[in-house]
Structure 1
Amino acid sequence: MSRDESETARLEGRLGPTDRAENWRRLGSEEFDVVVIGGGVTGAGAALDAATRGLRVALVEARDLAAGTSSRSSKLFHGGLRYLEQLEFSLVREALHERELMLTRLAPHLVKPVSFLYPLTHRVWERPYTAAGLLLYDTMGGSRSVPGQRHLTRAGVQRMVPALKRNASVGGIRYYDALADDARHTMTVARTAVRYGAVVRTSTQVVGFLREADRVAGVRLRDAESGDETEVRAQAVINATGVWTDELQRLSGSRGRFRVRASKGVHIVVPRDRIVSESGLILRTEKSVLFVIPWGNHWILGTTDTDWYLDLAHPAATKGDIDYILDHVNSVLATPLTNDDIEGVYAGLRPLLAGESDESSKLSREHAVARVAPGLVAIAGGKYTTYRVMAADAVDAIAGDVSGRIASSITDKVPLLGADGYHALVNQADQLASRHGLHPYRVRHLLDRYGSLIHDVLGVADEHSDLLKPLHEAPNYLQVEVVYAVIREGALHLEDVLTRRTRISIEYPHRGVGCAEEVARLMADHLGWDEQRIAREIEVYTARVEAERDAQTQPDDEAADAKRSAAPEVREDLTDPVS
């Protein structure tokens, strides 16, 4: 790749097949100030933070960007209303400040206001009590971009949410938070890091640490696609692997300063017409809260919160998890949901902090940063909304390991790719639609996925106009989006496109199997797949979906894990790094 080509790739935040080969060369031949391990939102955020401070940065991810927790959240940027009740004011204030930054400056194309109705079930005391909390929620963190709370009578609740039973509330309060496609957001953070000079490479697994005397001096990598290995020299390493934090600490030979406990959260997806409502819902449960979240033509319902001690890569939802969600939602719905209504299910793991012993520990949504060894920093805990703060803290922590003075974090001033010009393009959606022969609704949908990168996306179809046709079995998405996912967004496998670059795997009853061949053939030309490889990708993806469906009929975690683990791993050269 020539210097001009490399510069173009950097400015575009490109993660295509050619860039992948060049990045492998760079990892093995250049020395970096910091290597970040983990392509979730915290790792991607740390790479962006470090790059915009002027550091030489590499980010490596064993699977795909957002393959773990960061694609399996509740899709919310929120302060955490329930944390107010726990008197965690600083956490709520910090999260609401981050929500405001996303809505206004950093990612207005990806993060959108969303309303929730809080049904009141007790007369007299509950309304003023809840209103006082929501007044704090509306004003903490400099929030100005969403409307304030609105109070409703019982009749007002019924008009807003006809799906509710008449006796489900004595009134209600509507408030606002923000919604985002977590996987797309994480991928965009990573691409923005590339824009500012970071080397980002997926399917690249850390299998060892390099040492100079008592300090960590880099990592040994294996390409999970080819099995090739190389070594990367760096002054500092950041372990941002979430629920894998303990495993990576053991691999480094260092004793961790904290432990991470995995908590499983399950969500289900149902069609929008199954719950007639103008607003999302937040419902109290005996343990926490449960959300009914608007998601395009669907609702996302969740979540659960149970300890998980099994396969960290593939947490499995059980029949009990699904029944728990349905039972709680159905307790307030006039027309109950059934298993037949479910279009998608996903399970994720939250990396909650635990102390050295269960007796002295308190599981927390706060994050922690520790210098595990000279040259090695670990960060864990926290919540998706505060990823930028977590990333800045992690980079601050390597200051003693990196030569020279490190500049202060500036990511609160750095819009993500696609943010600049987004609002003007929304106003020009009709003209864009006419120019490309698309419906204005389609253009607005693309703008909310790519922002001002829409020109780059549609430009792929300039010489292949058929790519502007929708996928036959997933018509919310255009064929060009599949091609773009490969040549710009780093998708290497069928599941990368169906589960993360798009959300077909949870938005259609066939869970992606119905369009697997069409998508695989669109990817094939750009990844050099022959017929055998196309068949293999479809086979592995289909086996994954079948295994997940089987798991969701099982009574407990062990049985569900056994079913889910039976599916093959698409990245065949992945290994257990601590075995």
Structure 2
Amino acid sequence: MTAVPPLGPEQRARAWAELAEQSFEVLVVGGGVTGAGVALDAATRGLRTALVEARDFASGTSSRSSKLFHGGLRYLEQFDFGLVREALHERDLSVNRIAPHLVKPVPFLYPLTRRGWERPYVTAGLALYDGLARLGALSEPMPAQKHLTRTGARRMFPALKPDAFVGAVRYYDAQADDARHTLTVARTAAAYGATVLNSAEVVSFLHAGGRVVGVRVRDVETGAEVDVRSEVVVNATGVWTDDIQTLIGGRGRFHVRASKGVHIVVPRDRINGEAGLILRTEKSVLFVIPWGSHWIVGTTDTDWELDKAHPAASRADIDYILEHVNEVLSVPLTHDDITGVYAGLRPLLSGESESTSQLSREHAVARPMPGVIAVAGGKYTTYRPMAADAVDAVADDVTRRVPPSVTENIPLVGAEGYAAMVNSLDGLSDRWGIPRFRAEHLLNRFGSLTPEVLALAADRPELLEPVPGAEEYLMVEMVWGVEHEGALHLDDLLARRTRISIETAHRGVESAEPVARAVAPSLGWDADRVTAEVQGYAARVEAERLSQAAPDDQEADAARIAAPDTRAVLVGRTPS
């Protein structure tokens, strides 16, 4: 791989020129993890590739997951061994080869609530889970399951009620910051030659001779439009799949419905534990996941037919999570303990016959008309095989031979040299005069690109100061976000390049103005634009707080969409 090109203002201008001047073999619509994965897969097969995203990279489902890279333990009960095996293989690839700087092992406890049959039942399931993970493992596998008595489980997780369980089993999975991971996949695609753009909305499709031959793209920031020619267009828009199919015209091969999942974030000191928890509920599975200095608790699973861009968590959603997690905690959580809340939409496949009704747990690739490939469904962990399947299908629509996928052997940017840099952590800390914990924090976000991030502070030492109101992050990360990672707005920085919007009690409002002023020179913002960005972000936070106090989905949605939208996207909006 050549040097990693920055996704900044200059690159953005070049990318728009490339869209107008070049003809592509593959144009991907959608900048979530699946779309970014398709762009990477296509680019590394030597195809001329472009990726356009109407909002921001990972602004939909791919920034609002449970942050887990896992096999899907619950799918074993449904005998979906193939899906679990595939996901565990992808977990192994990411932890050991593709993204070791981003995807990390994490222990979980599976509390046992019944004596007798439950322990051997769970033991058998986890033995199969561990066994599937060991098939073809790249290196030393994660630790096998470990059985714990009630006393042993409480030693590892003192917050558990003594009468809520009779013992536990510890097992391992993995986790990642989903938004950062998705962005890194997109940047890796750009490093292999893909033209990558956010705030670039497809507003119509170009047709010739009964096939799609390209798209018309609107710059969401300026309103300018350009026609882009491509031999094939890949629809990787998740919950917007049907909206894009309607825009194309014709009948889709499958339909996608949205299921809302809500998570809450609480400070680490509110739950005394050294591992995650996986809990059964009557509707789904509830995770308690360690997340740096916080815990993530979720998720819900309810149908959502309202605004897709800004799904809203209601008080009913939050109450559901609190009710179920408090069943096992000796010191219950309250609304006052909650630092952040986020809601995401999982794209579930639904077919038109009984034979396709099981698609929701799998992914599907279809060719609804010549020149168009649609890919949807699946789970975050299996984004890479989803992308490979989509590009395999592209072969029927491009004029030259498409070689096999190679992404299994393509490390994401920041992965190469990461292990050596971990061994040199003290030197990195000394070189830049930052505490070791800060150097480690940067390494686990940027990998071997960390020295390049810090180099931005060579002439601006003030950038090595913590972000006001969010001291886990440094100001240099904000400038890097706009100069190298395509951030165009405050919420790009506070909600996705970092997680300040869910990790601070003020949800980023106290950080907004100093961050806006720090990045203003890079983005060409004047004082009025800085004020507008700060006020717009504050309005977003206020709308989210109001929605989270609303009793149901309808009122929560009305409160959330009342805030001005940072990006004036036209297609697929729910009428207000």
TM-score (norm 1): 0.97
Q: Using the TM superposition, give the Cα deviation of residue 397 of structure 1 relative to its aligned residue in structure 2, in angstroms.
A: 0.7
- Contact 1:251 1:577 survives alignment (8 Å): no
Q: Secondary structure at the match of 1:361?
A: helix
Q: C-alpha displacement at 1:335, in angstroms?
A: 0.4
- Contact 2:308–2:573 (Cα < 8 Å) also in 1: no
- In structure 2, the partner of 1:419 is 415
Match of 1:325 among 318, 321, 324: 321
Partner of 1:428: 424
Q: Which of 353-362 and 179-188 deviates more?
A: 353-362
The separation in 2 between residues aligned to 1:357 and 1:537, in whole angstroms, is: 48
Structure 1 residue 358, shift from structure 2 partner: 8.6
Amino acid at match of 2:76: L
Measured in 2, the distance between the counterparts of 1:439 and 1:471 equals: 15
Q: Is the 8 A contact 2:55 2:569 kept in 1?
A: no
Counterpart of 2:19 in structure 1 is 27
Q: Which secondary structure does the structure 2 equivalent of 1:257 belong to?
A: coil
The residue correspondences of 1:84-483 to structure 2 (distance < 5 A) are 84-141=76-133, 142=135, 143=137, 144-356=140-352, 361-362=357-358, 364-483=360-479
Q: What displacement does 1:362 show? A: 4.0
Task: State yes or no: 1:63 paired with 2:58.
Answer: no
Partners of 2:201 and 2:569 within 8 A in 1: no
RMSD of aligned residue pairs (Cα, Å): 1.4
For 1:229, the aligned partner's letter is E
Q: 1:575 Cα deviation (Å)?
A: 4.9
What letter is aligned with 1:218?
G
Q: Deviations over 1:429-464 (max 9, x none)?
A: 011100100111110110000000001101111111
- Give yes or no for the alignment of 1:511 onto 2:503: no
Aligned partner of 1:501 in structure 2 is: 497
Aligned to 2:36: 44
- The one-letter amino acid paired with 1:365 is R
Letter paired with 1:20: R
Separation in 2 of the partners of 1:168 and 1:519? 45
Corresponding residue SS for 1:485: helix
Q: For 1:340-398, what per-residue CA distance to the aligned partner results, in whole angstroms no more than 9, with x for missing partners?
A: 00000000000000012699734622000000100001011000000000000011111
Measure, in 2, the Cα distance between the counterparts of 1:81 and 1:485.
35
Distance (whole Å) between structure 2 residues aligned to residue 540 and residue 70 of structure 1: 23
Distance 1:520 1:551 in 2: 26
The change in CA–CA distance for 1:432 and 1:360 in structure 2 (over 3 A counts) is closer
How do 1:551-566 residues align onto structure 2 when only pairs under 5 Å count? Answer: 551-566=547-562
Q: Which of 2, 10, 14 is matched with 2:6 structurally?
A: 14
Partner of 2:539: 543
Uncovered stretches (5+) of structure 2, i.e. residues with no partner: none
Counterpart contact for 1:223–1:573, Cα < 8 Å = no
- Whole-Å separation in 2 of the counterparts to 1:360 and 1:570: 38
Please give the per-residue CA displacement for 1:489-529, whole angstroms capped at 9, x wherever unaligned: 00000000000000000000000001100111111110000
Q: Give 3-state SS (helix, strand or coil) of 1:509's partner.
A: coil
Identity %: 64
* Alpha-carbon distance in 1 for matches of 2:162, 2:356: 45
| Comparing 20-29 and 464-473, the one that deviates more | 464-473
Decide which moves more: 368-377 or 356-365: 356-365
Q: Distance in 2 between matches of 1:578 and 1:235?
A: 31
Offset of residue 212 of structure 1: 1.0
Give the Cα separation in 2 of the matches to 1:476 and 1:563: 30
Post-superposition shift, 1:134? 0.3
| Preserved contact between residue 471 and residue 515 of structure 1 (Cα < 8 Å) | yes
- Which region of structure 1 is more displaced relative to structure 2, 349-358 or 76-85? 349-358
Quick check: 1:62–1:574 contact (8 Å CA) kept in 2?
A: no
Q: How much has 1:124 moved relative to structure 2?
A: 1.3
Counterpart residue identity of residue 17, structure 2: R
Contact 1:206/1:577 (CA < 8 Å) preserved in 2?
no
Q: Is the 8 A contact 1:262 1:351 kept in 2?
A: yes
In the alignment, structure 1 residue 81 sits paired with structure 2 residue 77: no
